[in-house]
Amino acid sequence: MDSQFERRDFIRWAALAGAAAAAEGCASAFRLAPGGAASGFRMKPMERVRVGMLGVGSRGTAAVRRLVKIEGVEIVAVCDLVGERVERARKMVRDAGRGSPAGFVGPEGWKAICDAENVDVVYNCTSWDWHLRPCVRAMLNGKVPLVEVPGTLRIDECWEYVETCEKTRIPCMMLENCVYGEDEMLMLNLVRSGVLGDIVHGEGGYVHYGAEYMYPKTDSEPPTWRLEEKKGHTGNAYPTHGLGPVALSMGVNRGDRFDYMVSVGSRGHSLQDFARRKFGPDSKFGNYRIDYNDVNTSAIRTAVGNTIMVQINCANPRPYTRMGLVVGTKGIFGTYPARALLETAPGVAGKTWMDEKELAALREKYAHPLWKRHGELAKKVGGHGGMDFLMDLRWVYCLRKGLPLDMDVYDLASWSAVCELSESSAKRRGRTEYFPDFTRGGWKAARPVDIGGVAI
């Protein structure tokens, strides 16, 4: 399996490199610089960032509400399948005194936005099936695509993201908001500051009782797109909220990479049971086939020998958690709730988690600059406790300053690849599945991500 991926990587690289060199007339048009071809991509500084919104349902509308509060952003176009949503979003922009964006309704509206000359950024909040195509079209037209999670459920589409990004030299970022959570950024700072020593293990997940929003309100309505996905798939189709922050803290794609994984899943039962209790045992949804595991647990081993556990459970009544945890040679830090245990001398550590006073002191000393400077404003604006706002604030700042975005296309591809690989492994009794090296070896020299502050 590993050799098959390596062979495919070589064929893809050779074909793309040849095409790019031919198009530009010189071999330097496609160079595998240290850190991989797409590491460090940046745009020329933008005085203002003109945004086209694709999909203004729940997530898209929340994004509009945040973006109109950020200096230097102009929402110039909005599209959705539902006309009422488009008009609602346009009114929000007008009411904020930020202009009057064009509106597009229907299944072709995204093309107009991706092709528009006055759009710099395509902000993609569509359903999973519509993540790839607009992002590819945006890059081919010289526009920066930002896409909701996961970027895709399929590895072949992961490759299409990577190859298009490398060919066009346009950065592409997945909107993984949980990377910007207060505790997740504290975790990143603790790791980068060496407080936890060398990291050897991490854990992340997504546990969120979501049975209610998987189904429509009545049995006579069509199934939701979330439910449709669970009809024919299993594994972990939503890994990045828990995995992303841990992967960045552990240097994945920047000194390490995902090597292989195994995955197992419990039987899929609880969502069907919920539907039978809500709609009746003889109802349409009470008899709706669902292949998805109630609980899926995956174990990833990295190239340097570290491990990561990833879990999902959206079918059972459980308190919300993203299960963040990193384990190092000098200590451990976890989230939900935030907790830490540190070595006090070589081989000497406490037997219990830090008390509240010690943890508060650790927070004060190692709080991330982004939260130190803008945390209070972020909490007021909102968006999952403020992390959504900081995510938007940060990518806008990077584009206006001509800096690389915090996450690149290799993060999008490797984190999203867990979807297909976990399903394949779970269906085959936990068979080992190998990750493609989307960086083609560039991870060995790539520098750690530097999520700095924002001067506004």
Among candidate residues 126, 153, 175, the one where a domain is terminated = 175
pLDDT at 12: 41
The two structure tokens encoding residue 216: 């429509």
Q: In a 3-state reduction of DSSP, which class is residue 248?
A: helix
The two structure tokens encoding residue 71: 């200096």
Taking the CA of residue 248 as centre, how many other CA atoms within 13 Å lie in the half-sphere pointing to its CB? 27
Among candidate residues 131, 149, 175, the one where a domain is terminated = 175
210 and 130 inside one domain: no
Distance of CA 55 to the CA centre of its chain: 17
pLDDT at 350: 80
- Could you tell me which of 111, 60, 64, 52 has the C-alpha nearest to residue 82? 60
pLDDT at 36: 60
Residue 1 lies in a domain: no
245 and 258 inside one domain: yes
- Could you tell me which of 155, 80, 156, 83 has the C-alpha nearest to residue 112? 80
Residue type for position 67: L
Q: Is there a contact between 98 and 68 (Cβ–Cβ < 8 Å)?
A: yes
Question: What's the CATH number where 136 sits?
Answer: 3.40.50.720
Residue 397 lies in a domain: no
Residues sharing a CB contact under 8 Å with residue 202, sequence separation 6 or more, in sequence order? 246, 247, 249, 250, 306, 307, 308, 309, 325, 326, 327
Q: Is there a contact between 315 and 271 (Cβ–Cβ < 8 Å)?
A: yes
With vertex at residue 247, the alpha carbon angle to CA 378 and CA 369, rounded to the nearest 5 degrees, is 35
Taking the CA of residue 30 as centre, how many other CA atoms within 13 Å lie in the half-sphere pointing to its CB? 20
Q: pTM for the complete prediction?
A: 0.91
189 and 236 inside one domain: yes
- Could you tell me which of 105, 111, 103, 156 has the C-alpha nearest to residue 130? 111
116 and 202 inside one domain: no
Range of the structural domain that residue 312 is part of:
179-369+408-434
Residue 114 lies in a domain: yes
Question: What's the CATH number where 317 sits?
Answer: 3.30.360.10
213 and 339 inside one domain: yes
Alpha helices by DSSP H, listed for 260-345, are 270-279
Distance CA 245, CA 323 (A): 11
From first to last of the 456 residues of the chain, give the pLDDT tens digit: 443 334 344 334 344 333 333 333 332 333 344 446 888 899 999 999 999 999 999 999 999 999 999 999 999 999 999 999 999 999 999 999 999 999 999 999 999 999 999 999 999 999 999 999 999 999 999 999 999 999 999 999 999 999 999 999 999 999 999 999 999 999 999 999 999 999 999 999 999 999 988 999 999 999 998 899 888 889 999 999 999 999 999 999 999 999 999 999 999 999 999 999 999 999 999 999 888 999 999 999 999 999 999 999 999 999 999 999 999 999 999 999 999 999 988 888 888 999 999 999 999 999 999 999 999 999 999 889 999 999 999 999 999 999 999 999 999 999 999 999 999 999 999 999 999 999 999 999 998 888 987 754
Q: In Å, what is the CA distance from 229 to each residue of 125, 153, 169, 296, 438?
A: 17, 10, 32, 15, 25
Residue 171 lies in a domain: yes
pLDDT at 455: 57
Residues sharing a CB contact under 8 Å with residue 373, sequence separation 6 or more, in sequence order? 453, 454
pLDDT at 447: 87
Residue 377 lies in a domain: no
145 and 237 inside one domain: no
70 and 158 inside one domain: yes
- Overall domain count for the chain: 2
Residue 13 lies in a domain: no
Residues sharing a CB contact under 8 Å with residue 258, sequence separation 6 or more, in sequence order? 247, 252, 300, 302, 303, 414, 417, 435
Kindly state the helix (H) or strand (E) to which residue 189 belongs, with its residue range. Answer: helix 182-192
pLDDT at 5: 35
120 and 204 inside one domain: no
Among candidate residues 175, 208, 223, the one where a domain is terminated = 175
Distance CA 378, CA 382 (A): 6
Residues sharing a CB contact under 8 Å with residue 254, sequence separation 6 or more, in sequence order? 35, 39, 443, 446, 447, 448, 449
Kindly state the helix (H) or strand (E) to which residue 173 belongs, with its residue range. Answer: strand 173-174
171 and 224 inside one domain: no
Distance CA 238, CA 99 (A): 35
Residues sharing a CB contact under 8 Å with residue 275, sequence separation 6 or more, in sequence order? 215, 283, 285, 286, 288
Question: Residue 73 forms beta bridges with which residues?
Answer: 49
184 and 162 inside one domain: no
Residue 37 lies in a domain: no
68 and 154 inside one domain: yes
309 and 225 inside one domain: yes
Residue type for position 403: L
Residue 301 lies in a domain: yes
